[in-house]
Amino acid sequence: MRLRATLGALALRLDGNETAEEISAALAEAPEMPLEVEVAGPTPGPVVQALLEAAAARNLEVRFRPPRGERRVPHTEVVDHTLRSGQRIASAGTVVVLGDVNPGAEVAAGGDVIVVGKLRGLAHAGAEGNEQATIWALELAAKQLRIAGHVAVAPEDAPAPAGPERARVEEGQIVIEPWGRRRGA
């Protein structure tokens, strides 16, 4: 077992050889912060129960996360219709819209945003901080794009898109480039 304070939570790593008493004693003396638990080995039910009871007794929020080295692979969400003003789609994975994203609509994805149509609403790829995420659209005409913590605003006199485009982060800023055409063609 390893318990340490991080910026926003107490990080508790369970290796599988802890006892319920050890967990209870460690949490009784811990500061009042949210508890982020990494289960890195087989952990008996009574140990998990002791963890939850000790956290509940101190009114600590508990979040479980996968062991280091293992990544959660989010799913791809497919939206099979045009998004109209006021509609919002949010997903931890990639979002594919088979239609347009109209002004006033919003798509937020932990992964990529792919629009098989016109993107005129707000798109936020990498919403959980993934700077490798991209935004793809057959017609990219959004007034604002977001990738991770980066924001790009279209200039007032922006030319109409000339075909499919991709937005990505390069050297700390969002760049938009043609997609699907040969270079130099």
By the 8 A CB rule, do 54 and 24 touch?
yes
Q: pTM for the full model?
A: 0.60
Contact 93, 76 (CB under 8 A): yes
Please tell me the distance from the alpha carbon of residue 154 to that of residue 143, in angstroms, as a whole number: 5
Q: Which residue has the tokens 């490798």?
A: 132
Q: How far apart are CA 167 and CA 133, in angstroms?
A: 9
* Tens of pLDDT, residue by residue, the chain (185 residues): 888 888 888 888 888 888 989 988 888 888 888 999 988 888 888 888 988 998 888 888 898 887 776 555 578 999 999 999 999 999 999 999 999 999 999 999 999 999 999 999 999 999 989 999 999 999 999 989 999 999 999 888 877 777 899 999 999 999 999 987 544 54
